[in-house]
Amino acid sequence: MPTNPLLPPRTRLAHLPTPLVPMDRLSKTLGGPRLWLKRDDLTDTTASGNKLRKLEFSVARAQAEQATVLITCGGVQSNHCRATAVVASQLGLKCHLLLRGRRPPVLNGNLLLDEILGAEVSYLSAAAFADLDQQVADLKTHYAARGEHAFFIPMGASDETGLWGYIEACAELQADFRQAGIKPAAIVSATGSGGTLAGLMLGKQRYGLETDIVAFNVCDDADTFTKKIRSDFSRWEQRYQQGVDTRQLPINIIEGYVGPGYARANAEIFATIAMVARTEGVIFDPVYTGKAFHGLLAELAKGRFEGADDIVFLHTGGLFGVFPFGAEMFPEDDA
């Protein structure tokens, strides 16, 4: 049971607090503000990344309903699906993943782990995936007929329940900032399904963080995310009755860094990933963190964060998503 009556049930899964560490060598090279990393890639080894914070609340809700199966969805290399598959196995639940796309000839990265973990995987065409509600309803019926209770966690666990993950992360960040003696101008992250950004925005308000919350979209556009986040906010207000006026909260999304498309990257992004790896020993991924960090460096160069002393980049994980990019990142090794 939660100790704070205002907090919904939470199943502890992540190793918290994650470290807040300065990127000293990189910051020196750039000559701008001091850059920090909040290492949410270290929430766990196999279930690593930002999804685990959100899943603590989604899974608690599933458990309260006595669910025996977790259903969720995403791309073939979804970090969220892999994290859900890990957690399901840890809790003795079944896991059924609805993945958009085809089964690749060679299993790799997150997908390889999904299979090792014994998740049931259904590959959906774009058309079937567009009709996700129906797919989920059919699957629930399928499990009910077998005496199982299936609980659906939406894409990225980005719904009113998953939002709590990054609301509560703000309490941790506040303690981090105090300990480091910094007042960062901004917390910067990638946004893919909106839940991390939306949670940070609510958490900033709840815990009185004096820092801007800024995100780089890795797919779609700012307008799509603004609508998604507004809708998640209103569901959150309805379900949890926190008395927060979310209409006042500014949604800061910086567009222009999607590159060639969702889950696709180019030489510039690969170069940023290699540069950070070689300077700091930290690996970003081509789908989320590498793209967002690439955007951050470009915006710093343009003077966007002029006058900032400290900026915190949220390392949301994604390590397993690097592996499918080997041939693209180092094509000369193909010969």
Ligand X SMILES: *Cc1c(COP(=O)(O)O)cnc(C)c1O
Residue with Cβ nearer ligand X (51 or 140): 51
State both tokens at 52: 């685990």
Residue with tokens 């009113």: 160
Residue with tokens 């790896």: 277
| DSSP characters over 22-76 | E-HHHHHHHTSSEEEEEEGGGS-STT-STHHHHHHHHHHHHHHTT-SEEEEEEET
**Could you say which of 135, 191, 246, 272 contacts ligand X (CB under 6 A)?**
191
Residue 234 bears catalytic tag: no
194 touches ligand X (CB under 6 A): yes
Catalytic residue among 58, 78, 158, 189: 78
Residue with Cβ nearer ligand X (280 or 285): 285
Residue with tokens 């010969």: 335
Residue with Cβ nearer ligand X (84 or 191): 191
Shortest distance in whole angstroms from residue 315 CB to ligand X: 8
Task: Please choose, from the candidates 258, 260, 308, the residue with its C-alpha nearest in 3D space to the C-alpha of residue 288.
Answer: 258
80 touches ligand X (CB under 6 A): yes
Q: Which amino acid type is present at position 311?
A: I
195 touches ligand X (CB under 6 A): yes
**Could you say which of 11, 58, 135, 158 contacts ligand X (CB under 6 A)?**
158
Shortest distance in whole angstroms from residue 284 CB to ligand X: 9
Torsion of CA 198, 133, 287, 89, to 10 degrees: 90
Up-side HSE of residue 287: CA atoms within 13 Å toward CB? 22
Residue with Cβ nearer ligand X (176 or 232): 232
33 touches ligand X (CB under 6 A): no
156 touches ligand X (CB under 6 A): yes
75 touches ligand X (CB under 6 A): no
- State the Cα–Cα distance between residues 96 and 121, nearest whole angstrom: 6
How many residues sit in the footprint of ligand X (CB under 6 A)? 21
Residues 282-321 that bind ligand X (CB under 6 A): 285, 288-289, 316-318
Radius of gyration of the chain (CA): 19
Residues that bind ligand X (CB under 6 A): 49-51, 79-80, 156, 158, 190-197, 285, 288-289, 316-318
